[in-house]
Chain A
Amino acid sequence: MSETRRGLLGASLLSAFGLMSASSVVRAAAATSDDQGETGIPIYAKTLAGGAVLLVPESDHKIRAYDVVPRDGARLPEPPFDTNELIRNSRFRLVAIESRVVRVRGMRLHISGGFLLNSLASLDVTPMKWGEIHPPHRHPHRPHD
Chain B
Amino acid sequence: MKSILRIVILIDRMIEGPGGASDREFVFVVKLSKFCNLRCRYCYEHAELHVRERMGLATVEKLFADIDKFGEYLSAFGISPTFSFVWHGGEPLLVPSQYFREVTALQTKHIRDFPYSNSVQSNLYGSNASALAYIIASNWQLGISIDFAPGVREGRTHRDSHPTVIANAEALHKSGMAFGVVSTLGKHNAGSIVDAYDWVEEFAHSWRILPLFEGGPETAIEELRLPDDEIAEIYSAIFDRRSKGRRHIPIDPIDGLASAALLKMAGARDEPDFRRDVLDCVFVVNVNGDIYTRPFAYDARHCMGNINVNGMSGLIRSPAYLECQRIIQRGKQENCSVCRHRGYCNSALMHEHWSVTPKDGRRLCVHPRLGIDAIENELRNAGVDRSTIGAWARNWLGAVPTELDVAAA
Contact = CB atoms under 8 A, between A and B. Distances in A.
Interface of A: 2, 5-21, 23-34, 38, 40-41, 43-46, 61, 79-80, 99-101, 104-105, 108, 110-112, 117-124, 126-144
A1 to B, nearest CB: 10
Given A26-B397, A120-B347, 6 more contacts: A5-B382, A101-B19, A101-B20, A108-B20, A128-B351, A130-B351
B102 interface: no
A108 B17 CA distance: 12
A130 B388 contact: no
19 contacts: A5-B243, A10-B404, A11-B407, A13-B392, A15-B250, A20-B263, A24-B263, A29-B394, A31-B389, A32-B390, A119-B276, A123-B22, A129-B281, A132-B210, A135-B180, A136-B250, A139-B117, A140-B117, A143-B113
Contact of A143 (B112, B142, B379): B112
From A100, A112, A124, A126, residue with most partner B Cβ within 10 Å: A126
B397 A43 contact: yes
B129 to A, nearest CB: 21
B407 A16 contact: no
Contacts of A138: 84, 117, 141
A17 B18 contact: no
A38 B343 CA distance: 16
B14 interface: yes
Contacts of B205: 135-137
A31 B268 contact: yes
| A-B complex: 6 closest residue pairs judged by Cβ atoms | A27-B268, A133-B143, A127-B348, A31-B390, A29-B393, A101-B19
B145 to A, nearest CB: 8
A98 B268 CA distance: 23
Contact of A128 (B17, B263, B282): B282
A126 B19 CA distance: 18
B123 to A, nearest CB: 12
A27 B255 CA distance: 18
B29 interface: yes
Interface in B173-190: 180, 182
A132 B239 CA distance: 20
A126 B25 contact: yes
Interface string B83-122: 0101010000000000000000001100111111111010
Category for how many chain B residues contact A: 35 or more
Given A6-B382, A16-B262, A120-B343, A79 B276 contact: no
B86 A131 contact: yes
A132 B281 CA distance: 14
A15 B201 CA distance: 14
Contacts of A20: 259, 262-263
Given A120-B346, A140-B115, A143-B108, A29 B84 contact: no
B84 A112 contact: no
B16 interface: yes
A24 B270 contact: yes
A141 B294 CA distance: 24
A120 B20 CA distance: 18
A138 B86 CA distance: 12
Interface in B247-282: 248, 250-252, 255-256, 258-259, 262-263, 266-273, 276-277, 280-282
A131 B379 contact: no
Nearest to B277: A121
Nearest to B145: A132
Nearest to B142: A133
B18 A140 contact: no
Nearest to B239: A12
B308 interface: no
Contact of B24 (A110, A126, A141): A126
Given A14-B396, A43-B399, A119 B352 contact: no
